[in-house]
Structure 1
Amino acid sequence: MCSHAYPTNITVDKLMNLNSLNCQSSAQIVQISNDLNEQKKRGIKLNQTKQEIKLDHNVYQGIYAYQNYKTKHMVQDDFAVNFKKYGVRVIKIAFQAIKTSESESGAYYFIFEGHPSTVLYQLKKYFGEKWESEPSFDETSQGNTKLSCVYIG
């Protein structure tokens, strides 16, 4: 039986783990990036009643809103979410594809509710010695925290 015969339900909190927070390779981030690229050929629609989006062969649950932005060199997909994990509340997960004449890359980011120092404190408290890196947290104009991770595609 083909493993892609039926959709797999994935809750969006599974996208956030120690690897994805440390901007290291994460199977879940790679999977949703691939699913996004495949689904864009057919169009992406949010099922607001169920708060989910079907991307390729997977259904991502826990998404309250979806927006797509395009510029000359960038495409961004924003997913409004609302879950608490590792002591922090996540309110947005976004993916960017950046293409110039010289290179192609991608990025993803998490928006956490609260000030960067508070978010970092909670994550360090949860992970303890497993927390190896000092990710780059930025404060948003709304006073929340943005963690950006770039990868070369």
Structure 2
Amino acid sequence: MNRQNPFLSAWWRDLDDHEARFDMPSVYQADLLKRAGEILADGIVDELEHFSMCELVRAATSHAIEEKASDYVQPNGQYQLLDGNGQIAGRMDGYGIYLGDGVGIYNRAIARRGADRFRVIGFGLGTTIGCICGQNFNQIGLPPLRLHLVAYRVNGELIPA
């Protein structure tokens, strides 16, 4: 496969576009499959190479969809943070993460979306202390805490999970 061709180089570059793959997986897949067909029709690749390109697109899209499902955290959910023994180590709601008793500036963190596709957690001025990966809050240098959904808000009303 000659990756020096500008159309093929652009296709490989777009295959590695993680933001497009995670934000719009169906559009990402449809676009790359269509372009792979055009690259085949133009004779840039043979049928076997085209088949491999299509398989790569489908695998990357499936991976993105699976990752998004496991990374899902209810935005209106209220969670308990449980340690390895099942003991409550803190809580998380739509406003932040509260470790320990949740009192004091250093016990409250805010969540934001990071480029690495995980939810990055930071204190005040953005010091990174961990990330949400799937249903775990992974603290830097500490054991992970499991997220346990206990309630969520619907129209301002708290509904037990």
User: TM class, shorter-chain normalised?
Assistant: under 0.3
TM (norm. structure 2) is 0.24
TM (norm. structure 1) is 0.25
Q: Give the helix-richer structure, 1 or 2.
A: 2
Larger Cα-atom Rg: 2
